[in-house]
């Protein structure tokens, strides 16, 4: 059998129910806040653990990118002048101060500032020994003595370079004329000029500066 509630009891019960209804939203909000806080703490804890264990994000690669434009194809040769095939190598790039330190004053003026040595004064203009002519700046092989000839100009002259890969040509408009300047392909050293008044079989005269090259006897 149930119990009846008096008037004052009913008023108290109604008051309690109203209080519960008012407090319900606060409880819901509190539960959401607690859940959000727990989730944030869990995320932070997981991040700390992953960093400590080395499972963090991939490391940043600080290695400089490879510059394919700074690589050139060069043909190598044995001391006897036999081809050893082509190989891709990085260009030789140095500061002006480094070139000055490496080269003699004349070689620097010729190779790095496009100068010209006085004719009949160079070390190899009248040289007839058998061997190879290397770039004074980077040691790339440029000419074979077998293609050297007497041009009467006072500069060492050749009717062709040892390899089309090892030298380059560009337009030179200095001194009020247009000429084809010749340079080392690997380090851009100025070597001299090429003219179309040479002997057969090419009809070309590669007029070089002794100061731009180093002679190495054939072995």
Entry field: residues in the chain: 219
Q: Is 8 exposed, middle or buried (0-12, 13-18, 19+ CB in 10 A)?
A: exposed
* Alpha-carbon distances, residue 163 vs 8, 100, 174, 209 (angstroms): 116, 28, 27, 18
> Which of 201, 120, 118 is CA-nearest to residue 158?
201
Burial of 131 from C-beta contacts in 10 A (0-12 / 13-18 / 19+):
buried
Phi-psi map region of 167: left, alpha, beta (phi>0 left; psi -120 to 50 alpha): beta
Cis peptide before 201 (omega within 30 of 0): yes
Q: Please state, in angstroms and rounded to a whole number, the distance separating the CA atoms of residues 17 and 85.
A: 97
Closest CA to 186 of 66, 68, 73: 73
E strand map for 56-116: 71-77, 83-90
Cβ atoms of 194 and 167 within 8 Å: the answer is no
Active site residues: 207
């Amino acid at each position: 059998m149930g119990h009846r509630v008096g008037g004052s009891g009913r008023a108290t019960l109604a008051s309690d129910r109203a209080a519960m209804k008012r407090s319900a939203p606060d409880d819901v909000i509190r539960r959401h806040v607690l859940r959000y806080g727990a989730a944030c703490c869990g995320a932070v804890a997981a991040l700390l653990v992953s960093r400590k264990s080395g499972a963090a994000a991939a490391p940043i690669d600080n290695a400089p990118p490879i510059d394919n434009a700074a690589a050139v194809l060069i043909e190598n040769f044995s001391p006897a002048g036999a081809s050893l095939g082509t190989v891709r190598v990085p260009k030789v790039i140095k500061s002006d101060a480094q070139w000055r330190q490496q080269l003699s004053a004349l070689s620097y003026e010729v190779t790095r500032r496009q100068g010209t040595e006085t004719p009949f004064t160079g070390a190899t203009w009248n040289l007839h020994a058998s061997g190879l002519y290397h770039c004074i700046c980077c040691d790339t092989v440029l000419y074979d003595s077998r293609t050297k000839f007497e041009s009467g100009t006072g500069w060492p002259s050749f009717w062709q370079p040892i390899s089309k890969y090892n030298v380059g040509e560009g337009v030179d408009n200095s001194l009020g004329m247009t000429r084809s300047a010749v340079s080392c392909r690997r380090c851009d050293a100025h070597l001299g000029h090429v003219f179309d008044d040479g002997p057969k079989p090419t009809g070309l005269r590669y007029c070089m500066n002794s100061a731009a090259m180093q002679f190495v006897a054939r072995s």
